[in-house]
Structure 1
Amino acid sequence: MSTSTTQSSRKKSIAKPDNSPLPGQAINARPMAGDVIYERILGSIMEHRLTPGTKLVEEKLAGIFGVNRTRVREVLARLSHEGLITTIPNRGAFVASPTPDEARAIFGARRLLEPALLRHLCEHTQPAHIAQLREHVAQEARARENNDRRAIIRLSGEFHIRIADMVGNPVMSKMMRELASLTCLIIVLYDSPTMPACAHDEHGRIIDAIAAGRAEDAVAAMIGHLHHIEEVLDMSAPPSEDEDLEAMLGMV
């Protein structure tokens, strides 16, 4: 047997790598980056498409996103580290379902972090900051006019993330992003069906105080805002589960 024939046989015997297409996956589809998958899942959590307790099956997610299970596993590990995913041995990964005690602890952490962010922003605020925050509140208002509850909750959480990002401290931004995402889970678990968790004018009052440089007024408005969200939650009403994972991820 010639050398070229031997080499050809060896090539044919090599197993396909782990990133080979899954059954039903388009061969020419470009694999989705881990950060994109992370943002898609995170956005679905913040918009209440992925609800607490939803099982995240690695193989199914790999097929939805057109990637291998290793990449999905890395994203799930990242979300688990942030507390948004709970991994149960021999059962799999599930969207976290914070208990009432955990929910109160998350609000307590926010009442410590966000006043510090506001005090710093009031000292270093720029006209562009105020314009961006007011435009964000305008987006919230449009979502309310359209009765788009998912967008309302997502934008409400992103308002607090925007404030953190304006401070320019990446560690605090990361903390705020994680706390805001966990709060979205808490709201979908415990939101009272008769009362919205976020009043439409509270963000506006916070912006007014920031714009005027009144740090303590901004802090008081934020603390009152967080207290209001926590107080209207009904800690005894878990949501129903939806098994259509692809639809919940906004892929259909």
Structure 2
Amino acid sequence: MDVSATSTVFNAPIPSKGHEMANDEIYQRIQVAIMERRLAPGTKLAEERLTEATGASRAKVRQVLSRLAHEKVVTLIPNRGAFIARPTTQEARELFTTRRLIEPGMVDLLARQVTPAQVRTLRRHVAQEQEARNANDLRRIIRLSGEFHIHIADMVASSFLPRIMRELTALTCLIITLYDKPNTPACPHHEHRDLVDMIEAHDSAGAKQCMLDHLLHIEHALDLDSTEPAPPDFDAIFKHDEI
């Protein structure tokens, strides 16, 4: 799939001559498009289309693609270009292991120091998630579900942790797209609300367990038991058999 719908991904008029998107904006819009499943695993990110849609130079586009490749969200293939990554089942398991190491500690810390304003922010977000479910707006549901976790990171840190969570969330969306089981919700709708309840009550132990259970539920809703296809045995294919 080529990124022929780049103008849809960037959701903005083609920039006028002399105006171009900044690197961070291009980066963020690609991440959001992944979270909304508008850029699927394997999609080619053609430099020419990206420069047309953003008004940015090829040099800037390449910088963004290199950054995304460093984060394993994009795969760069020599002489072919950049493609949205297709994480393997092993990489998916490693990602959830990483999230289970990080996120229970995040909510533990937030539950100890949360402010009323932060609780209101989280409750507004959960309400937006419910509105998206009521409207059966799958793209918005997926994006908001990921952003909930990013909000928590933003509330407990200002630098490294939010950046890491954005990377992990984008990769999680790719994994859900690839391995989601039919008719199985990857993110049970009530668990974010329950988590906010525990954070507001300053129940740090309960919040930690709730986050751990939540991440396990997401992982278990995916089909990660399939084995990766073995590489083709070209020696066997082209072996000269005597007749």
> Do Structure 1 and Structure 2 share a fold, with TM-score over 0.5?
yes
Q: Which residue of 1 aligns with 2:115?
A: 126
How many Å apart are 1:129 and its aligned residue? 0.9
Q: Is the 8 A contact 1:190 1:237 kept in 2?
A: no
Q: Secondary structure at the match of 1:233?
A: coil
The residue number in structure 1 matching 2:106 is 117
Residue 219 in structure 1 maps to residue 208 in structure 2: yes
* Residue 52 of structure 2, aligned match among 63, 84, 105: 63
Residue 76 of structure 1 pairs with residue 88 of structure 2:
no
Local SS of the residue matching 1:35: helix
1:237 Cα deviation from its structure 2 partner = 11
Whose RCO is larger (CA < 8 A, sep 6+)?
Answer: 1
* 3-state DSSP of counterpart to 1:93: strand
Deviations 1:101-134, CA, capped at 9 Å, x for gaps: 0000000000000011111111111001110000
Q: Which moved more, 1:89-98 or 1:135-144?
A: 89-98
Match of 2:126 among 134, 137, 142: 137
List gaps (5 residues or longer) in structure 2.
1-13, 229-243
Aligned pairs for 1:71-110 (under 5 A) are: 71-110=60-99
Q: Structure 1 regions of 5+ residues with no counterpart?
A: 1-24, 239-252
How much is the aligned-residue C-alpha RMSD, in angstroms?
1.7
Alignment match, 1:150: 139
Q: For residue 195 of structure 1, what is the aligned residue in structure 2? A: 184
Pairing partner for 1:163 from 137, 141, 152: 152
Count of residue pairs the alignment pairs up: 214
Residue 29 of structure 1: CA displacement? 5.2
What displacement does 1:34 show? 1.3
**Partner residue in 2 for 1:11:** none
Contact 2:75 2:83 in 1 (8 A): yes
Whole-angstrom CA distance in 1 between matches of 2:16 and 2:220: 51
| Rounded Cα–Cα distance in structure 1 between residues aligned with 2:152 and 2:16 | 42
1:50 is aligned to 2:39: yes
- Measure the CA separation in 2 of the matches of 1:237 and 1:215: 38
- Residue 168 of structure 1 and its aligned partner are, at CA, apart by 2.1
Output the amino acid matched with 1:216. A
Q: Which one of the candidate residues 145, 162, 166 is aligned to 1:177?
A: 166
- Cα distance, 1:179–1:26 mapped onto 2, change above 3 Å: closer
1:8-56 Cα offsets, whole Å, 9 max, x none, are xxxxxxxxxxxxxxxxx87635112111111111110110000001011
1:5 aligned residue: none
Whether the aligned pair in 1 keeps the contact of 2:17 and 2:55 (CA below 8 Å) is no
Provide the rounded CA distance (Å) in 2 between the counterparts of 1:158 and 1:28.
Answer: 33
What TM-score do you get using the length of structure 1 for normalisation? 0.81
The 3 A distance-change label for structure 1 pair 185 and 128 is same
What code does the residue aligned with 1:115 have?
P
Corresponding residue for residue 241 of structure 1: none
Deviations 1:61-106 (A, max 9, x none): 1112122211110110111111110111122111011100000000
Query: Which one-letter code corresponds to 1:212 in the other structure?
Result: A
* Cα contact 2:15–2:54 (8 A) shared by 1: no
Name the structure 1 match of 2:196: 207
Q: Following the alignment from structure 1 to structure 2, what is the Cα–Cα distance between the partners of residues 27 and 161?
A: 33
AA at the equivalent of 1:86: T
